């Protein structure tokens, strides 16, 4: 409820759709808003004594983008996140979050960003109602108890934090992070420890926040989550930015081979040992001729042409690209390529 007693949207809304635990509201972004840069990282460097945690990285994030920040432990993710959140000062370079300098404008920053706290950051005895009052007082806004209700926490509003399930604790942390309607939301391992249903609910909420124009920085070790949720990802390794782009772009530029499985009516490819362009390996499994290619376009074109030459009929053709996890492991364990 707002100060006038009316129901407030989540966030400011013009359309709504169900996400599994009620109706949350979302704003449709204009084209101009979608092209607005919300985060700028330019030549950012962070050191601790002689140790270089982050070494001259640069990237930008647009409004309404879900941006994955990936990397093994010690890659520089935490230093980057904490600097963007205003908790650490860069040793070199420039940072901007929604037009705010995180280092020199902390008061402005706290009202434009939301940070989902981990469980350890919450007092064991605090209740969701008390936590909402405390967090909203810090931001100078009215408590958003409606968010607790809409996130399925209505029966638990008076329950102490230690009595909440892991999924309920995560939803509370998210409600607190978005209660002041931040422009940028930082999520650090948001689905760690969640069951399948709670994970799906949180992902649905992330999509609705995105539709409302919220920019989301997602730090996760879950490559499947990053591939599913992120519009673009940045992969850090030893403080350096080793990959930046959409999950598809990153997987397509790796050395990983794309698997092509072909099943035809007459099986003409099964006994045909013809060499196809860019195929590094081929085998037969059941009724499928299987090829591993470095150039999927040329290989598939040649296969289809050969099926036609054989006067055969194509029944099934499947293409399986390397996953983001495959590419991540290649970059972080096999060196950049």
CATH number, domain containing residue 267: 3.30.70
Question: Where does residue 284 fall: left (phi above 0), alpha (psi -120 to 50 degrees), or beta otherwise?
Answer: beta
Q: What is the pTM of this model?
A: 0.76
Q: Is the pLDDT of residue 64 over 80?
A: yes
Pair (144, 194) in one structural domain: yes
Residue 93 belongs to some domain of the structure: yes
Q: Is residue 332 part of a domain?
A: no
Given the DSSP bridges, would you call strands 37-48 and 23-26 parallel, antiparallel or unpaired?
unpaired
Q: Is residue 7 situated within a structural domain?
A: no
Asked whether residue 130 falls in the same domain as residue 241, the answer is: yes
On whether both 75 and 190 belong to a single domain, the answer is: yes
- For the chain, what is the mean pLDDT? 86
Give the model's pLDDT for residue 31: 61
Does residue 11 surpass a pLDDT of 60? no
Residue 170 included in any domain: yes
Residues 211 and 102 in one domain: yes
Clarify whether residues 72 and 201 are in a common domain. Answer: yes
147/165 same-domain check = yes
Looking at the structure, tell me whether residues 245 and 265 fall in a common domain.
no
Is the residue at 8 inside a domain?
no
pLDDT band at 274 (very low <50, low <70, confident <90, very high): confident
In this prediction, residues 72-85 reach a mean pLDDT of: 95
CA dihedral 57, 81, 70, 232 (to 10 degrees): -80
The answer to whether 63 and 29 are in contact (CB under 8 A) is yes
Within the chain, where are the H helices? 31-34, 77-84, 106-112, 128-139, 145-150, 166-178, 196-211, 223-229, 247-252, 296-309, 324-334
* pLDDT class of 272 with cuts at 50, 70, 90: low
Answer whether 40's CB lies under 8 Å from 96's CB. Answer: yes
Q: Are residues 244 and 271 in the same domain?
A: no
Taking residues 240-256, report their average pLDDT: 85
The pLDDT of 250-260, averaged and rounded, is 78
Q: Annotate 165-189 with DSSP letters as a single string.
A: -HHHHHHHHHHHHHTT--SEEEEES
Mean pLDDT to the nearest integer, 209-231: 94
Work out whether the CA dihedral 143, 144, 149, 152 comes out positive or negative.
negative
pLDDT score of 104:
96
Residue 283 and residue 268: Cα distance in Å, rounded? 14
Confidence at residue 172, expressed as pLDDT on a 0 to 100 scale: 92
Do residue 86 and residue 146 come from a single domain? yes
In a domain, 281, yes or no: yes
Task: State the pLDDT at residue 27.
Answer: 53
| DSSP letter (8 states) at residue 326 | H
What pLDDT band is residue 13 in, cutting at 50, 70 and 90? very low
Domain hosting residue 150, numbered range: 15-250
Question: Collapsing DSSP states into helix, strand and coil, what is residue 191?
Answer: coil
**184-188 and 37-48 strand pairing:** unpaired
In this structure, what CATH number is given to the domain that contains residue 107?
Answer: 3.40.50.300
pLDDT of residue 3: 39
- The dihedrals phi and psi of 54, each to the nearest 5 degrees, come to -135, 130
Domain count for the chain = 2
pLDDT of 109-159, one tens digit each?
A: 999 999 987 656 789 999 999 999 999 999 999 999 999 988 889 999 999
Query: Which whole number is the average pLDDT over 275-291?
Result: 89
At 321, give phi and psi (nearest 5°): -80, 160
Q: Per the domain annotation, does 5 fall within a domain? A: no
């Amino acid at each position: 409820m707002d100060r006038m007693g009316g129901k407030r949207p989540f966030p400011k809304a013009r359309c709504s759709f169900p996400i599994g635990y009620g109706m949350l509201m979302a704003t449709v972004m204009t084209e101009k808003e979608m092209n607005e840069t919300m985060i700028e990282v330019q030549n950012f460097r962070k050191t601790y004594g002689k140790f270089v945690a982050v070494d001259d990285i640069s990237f930008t994030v647009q409004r309404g983008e879900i941006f994955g920040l990936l990397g093994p432990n010690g890659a520089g993710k935490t230093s980057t996140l904490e600097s963007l959140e205003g908790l650490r000062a860069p040793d070199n370079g420039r940072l901007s979050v929604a037009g705010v300098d995180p280092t020199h404008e902390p008061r402005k920053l706290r009202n434009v960003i939301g940070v989902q706290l981990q469980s350890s950051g919450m007092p064991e005895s605090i209740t969701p109602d008390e936590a909402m009052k405390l967090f909203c007082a810090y931001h100078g806004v009215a408590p958003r108890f409606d968010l607790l209700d809409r996130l399925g926490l209505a029966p638990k509003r008076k329950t102490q934090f230690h009595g909440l399930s892991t999924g309920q604790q995560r939803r509370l942390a998210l409600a607190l992070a978005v209660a002041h309607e931040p422009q940028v939301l930082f999520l650090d391992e948001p689905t760690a420890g969640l069951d399948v249903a709670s994970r799906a609910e949180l992902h649905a909420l992330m999509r609705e926040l995105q539709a409302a124009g919220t920019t989301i920085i997602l730090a996760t070790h879950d490559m499947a989550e990053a591939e599913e949720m992120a519009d673009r990802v940045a992969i850090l390794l030893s403080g350096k930015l080793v990959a930046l782009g959409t999950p598809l772009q990153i997987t397509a530029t790796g050395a990983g081979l794309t698997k092509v499985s072909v099943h035809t009516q007459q099986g003409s490819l099964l006994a045909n040992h013809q060499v196809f362009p860019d195929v590094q390996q081929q085998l037969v499994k059941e009724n499928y001729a299987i090829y591993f290619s470095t150039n999927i376009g040329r290989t598939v074109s040649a296969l289809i042409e050969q099926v036609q030459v054989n006067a055969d009929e194509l029944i099934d053709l499947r293409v399986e690209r390397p996953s983001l996890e495959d590419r991540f492991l290649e970059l972080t364990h096999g060196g950049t390529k």
